[in-house]
Structure 1
Amino acid sequence: MKIYMDGNDTVLTHVEDFNLKETLECGQCFNFVRKDISTDNSFCYRIIAHGNALIVEQDNRSKEDGCILRLYNTDIHEYETIWEHYFDLYTDYKTIKESIIKGSGELQDIIKENSGIRLLNQEYFETLISFIISQNKQIPQIKAVVKNISQMAGKVIKDNGEEVYSFPDALELAKLSEENIRECKAGFRAPYIMDAVRLYLDGSIKEDEFIGISTDDARKLLMTVKGVGEKVANCVLLYSLGRREAFPVDVWMKRIMEHLYFKKDTDKKVIEEYAYEKYGEYAGYAQQYLFIYGKNNLMK
């Protein structure tokens, strides 16, 4: 991969194993919009993450040598300190995919056709609140609630003359009442959000509490938040705390795993344990490809 400045933009060429659309729209994040300038040959999105707004475009015209990414109004320092980590661009996905295929040949075609999905490294508190919101909601609804909360309590970010809002941190969100959060269309999740804010601010579930503990203990700690079950906890572990072995199991993932491996109704915990045994440290990556398999074969 090569990096250079073009005017005010950082440009990355020869970016392998990366697809912006697949990565953003697979259900792991919710604070983005697709821009109107997207074409058949390119995708363009505005992402709000880590207190910053980024407009990023992927040019697909040179697939053989990897894609080209343009990060608008972003210098190389900002790219290296925020976005390289956010997009997980330093991870060797070729090795990961080879390992998954070796243990699960039935996913070989899916992985080859969708080789550009990356697991994002998101901000922990925002991810926790976002996946509390996600319960029993579709992605457009989740995005709307995240946007509403950001507009009500977040900071203004100037983005090419347009005002957008960062997701509030715990102190900012604590200024809202439960009724305010309900006004953001959070519904029954509002008291769960309030409890997460309380536990975060008293130090019980801050990031430092997860350092040096097992993934099982980290999951149990997250589940001390009201309304946080196994699936939400695993999403937070996978998408923001670097626990790439976490394997979220929702209704669809349960059906996919039953279809591929169990051929019968199976407890979610059994499925999660089987996935870890089968995929090990790469279980979270495998989950993304399994979801696409199900989307293409079982969700039609």
Structure 2
Amino acid sequence: MSADLPLVRVAEVDAGGYPVDLVATLDGGQTFRWWVESADALEGFAGPWHVRLVRDPALPPGTVAGEPPEAAGAVRDLLDLERNYAALDADLVRRDPDLADVVETTRGLRISRVSPWEALLSFLLSSHTHIARIKRMVQAVCEQGEPGPDGMPRPEQLAALGEQRLRSLGLGYRAAYLAATAARLAEQPAWLERGHAMKTPELAEHLMHLPGVGPKVAECVALFGYGRWDAFPVDRWVRRAVERRFFGGRPVAPARLRTFARERWGPLAGLAQAHLFAAARQRARAR
């Protein structure tokens, strides 16, 4: 961990007294610009700020401290520390007691919030690979241009690089999707901004007009980039977890699982997804 980075300290619990699990939140497939030193210390990016982040038991609940204050504020936003996760998890379990064990197992997990562009770029690179490789690809892309306000290279910069240059960074076939999407956004700079005014199903359809964006990527961008908690990304981990828990292990199409999730968990479908995904990865690591 780099000693010369700004240090941001986060209390062990939020304002509601609920634990803040930094590793599960920042190193669990929601965002890909964080590297773990220990359960209480990470290095990474909150918007444009490259920081060292530690959990500090001496801080009052819900507190974030660091210099410059803008970096601490960016970490607060990333970790969604203004939200009462104790109440939200309790509400989720009231809606569906069958999730009680999952929520308890992954207690302290939060839903990170990044810019729509960071989420889109990251999840375009996420198909058919693992978190460590996604991190390497995102880092390689981020080193190619001057960062914008969200800390990411701007679409026009990546469009100017072109597919072959992006492919040389180790992106494989994903380079074509990223190059084409960056070109589209460079031509239509308001594309992502327009999504804020759309309801989630319309937003997902809007995003799927971009090259390489299918339902899973669109739902991930909606959840982590736009804060749409009624989104429900379905990957292999979540698909297997929901099939096993609610469908007797029978295969179910992803579209049916998304409908099931929205009907069962409503505005907390994204929170249920985050807990199910984290619990599935915990079980896999324990084997």
Give the TM-score normalised by the residue count of structure 1: 0.83
> Could you tell which deviates more after superposition, 125-134 or 286-295?
286-295
User: What's 1:119 paired with?
Assistant: 111
Amino acid at match of 1:56: L
**Over residues 70-119 of structure 1, what are the superposed CA-to-partner deviations in whole Å (9 max), with x where a residue is unaligned?**
64xx2334423x22212100011112101111122232233223221111
Whole-Å Cα distance in 2 between the matches of residues 222 and 155 of structure 1? Answer: 23
The answer to whether residue 79 in structure 2 is matched with residue 93 in structure 1 is no
Amino acid at match of 1:44: A
The answer to whether residue 29 in structure 2 is matched with residue 27 in structure 1 is yes
Amino acid at match of 1:79: A
SS in 1 for 2:129: coil
Amino acid at match of 1:29: T
Whole-Å Cα distance in 2 between the matches of residues 185 and 9 of structure 1? Answer: 31
The answer to whether residue 48 in structure 2 is matched with residue 51 in structure 1 is yes
The answer to whether residue 271 in structure 2 is matched with residue 285 in structure 1 is yes
Identity %: 24
The answer to whether residue 207 in structure 2 is matched with residue 222 in structure 1 is yes
Whole-Å Cα distance in 2 between the matches of residues 279 and 112 of structure 1? Answer: 17
User: What's 2:68 paired with?
Assistant: 75
Q: What does 1:80-229 correspond to in 2, within 5 Å?
A: 80=73, 82-155=74-147, 166-203=151-188, 206-229=191-214
Match 1:260 to one of 226, 235, 245 = 245
Whole-Å Cα distance in 2 between the matches of residues 197 and 23 of structure 1? Answer: 27
Q: CA deviation at 1:290?
A: 1.1
Whole-Å Cα distance in 1 between the matches of residues 57 and 10 of structure 2? Answer: 12
Amino acid at match of 1:105: P
Amino acid at match of 2:268: Y
- Given the superposition, is the C-alpha separation of residues 49 and 292 from structure 1 closer, same or farther in structure 2, using an over 3 Å criterion? closer
Whole-Å Cα distance in 2 between the matches of residues 204 and 77 of structure 1? Answer: 26
- Whether the 8 Å contact between 1:57 and 1:70 is mirrored in structure 2 is no
Whole-Å Cα distance in 1 between the matches of residues 281 and 134 of structure 2? Answer: 19
**Over residues 15-40 of structure 1, what are the superposed CA-to-partner deviations in whole Å (9 max), with x where a residue is unaligned?**
333111111121011111223xx3xx
Q: Tell me which protein shows more strand as a share of its residues.
A: 1
Aligned length: 274
Q: CA deviation at 1:61?
A: 8.4
- Whether the 8 Å contact between 1:245 and 1:282 is mirrored in structure 2 is yes
- Whether the 8 Å contact between 1:60 and 1:68 is mirrored in structure 2 is no
- Whether the 8 Å contact between 1:49 and 1:123 is mirrored in structure 2 is no
- Given the superposition, is the C-alpha separation of residues 31 and 78 from structure 1 closer, same or farther in structure 2, using an over 3 Å criterion? closer
List runs of 5+ in structure 1 lacking aligned partners: 1-7, 157-165
- Whether the 8 Å contact between 1:18 and 1:67 is mirrored in structure 2 is no
Amino acid at match of 2:204: R
Q: CA deviation at 1:153?
A: 2.4
> Could you tell which deviates more after superposition, 169-178 or 257-266?
169-178
- Given the superposition, is the C-alpha separation of residues 76 and 31 from structure 1 closer, same or farther in structure 2, using an over 3 Å criterion? same
**Over residues 134-183 of structure 1, what are the superposed CA-to-partner deviations in whole Å (9 max), with x where a residue is unaligned?**
00111111111111112222459xxxxxxxxx531212222212111001
- Whether the 8 Å contact between 1:44 and 1:57 is mirrored in structure 2 is yes
Whole-Å Cα distance in 2 between the matches of residues 155 and 67 of structure 1? Answer: 29
- Whether the 8 Å contact between 2:217 and 2:233 is mirrored in structure 1 is yes
- Given the superposition, is the C-alpha separation of residues 28 and 132 from structure 1 closer, same or farther in structure 2, using an over 3 Å criterion? same
